[in-house]
């Protein structure tokens, strides 16, 4: 559910909870075992606490004479647990540029917003829109700079 300007929150996003203050538990018998199996956190071995992503996102994009067609799935998973069926994985960077999400959603959304800001700053400074090639170079340089983190 996405709210637009002027919309009011009607509570439908939390209607599946028993009460608004309750917490929905994952549908597994042993949450501790589930976390150890699917999150692969190894405190005693090293500090590289990596997540094990079991599933993937399908992203398709086609260019044709009339424009472009982009399609992605809308499911968000956490291991075998389906977190949401309605995730927006196609985002607008500029009115002429789209990006899709695949992987860790929070990281992808952050870097897409970062790229959108960089593209807008380019347009304001240079008084013309940024090319796809230049935008891809911006995000590549940004990712390269932060690769050690």
* Residues belonging to the active site: 57
- Residues with Cβ < 8 Å from 119, sequence gap 6 or more? 93, 94, 97, 130, 135, 138
CA 90/CA 109 separation, integer angstroms:
10
List, in order, residues 6 or more apart from 73 with CB less than 8 Å away.
57, 58, 89
């Amino acid at each position: 559910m996405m709210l637009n300007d002027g919309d009011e929150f009607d509570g439908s996003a939390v209607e599946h909870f028993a009460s608004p203050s309750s917490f929905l538990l994952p549908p597994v018998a042993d949450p501790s075992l589930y976390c150890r199996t699917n999150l692969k956190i190894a405190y005693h071995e090293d500090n590289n606490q990596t997540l094990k992503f079991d599933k993937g996102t399908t992203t398709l994009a086609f260019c044709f004479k009339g424009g472009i067609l982009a399609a992605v799935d809308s499911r968000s998973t956490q291991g075998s647990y389906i977190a949401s069926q309605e995730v927006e994985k196609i985002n607008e960077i500029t009115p002429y540029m789209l990006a899709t999400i695949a992987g860790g959603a929070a990281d992808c959304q952050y870097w897409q917003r970062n790229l959108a800001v960089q593209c807008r700053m380019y347009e304001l400074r240079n008084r013309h829109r940024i090319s796809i090639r230049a935008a891809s170079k911006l995000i590549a340089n940004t990712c390269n700079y932060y690769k050690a983190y």
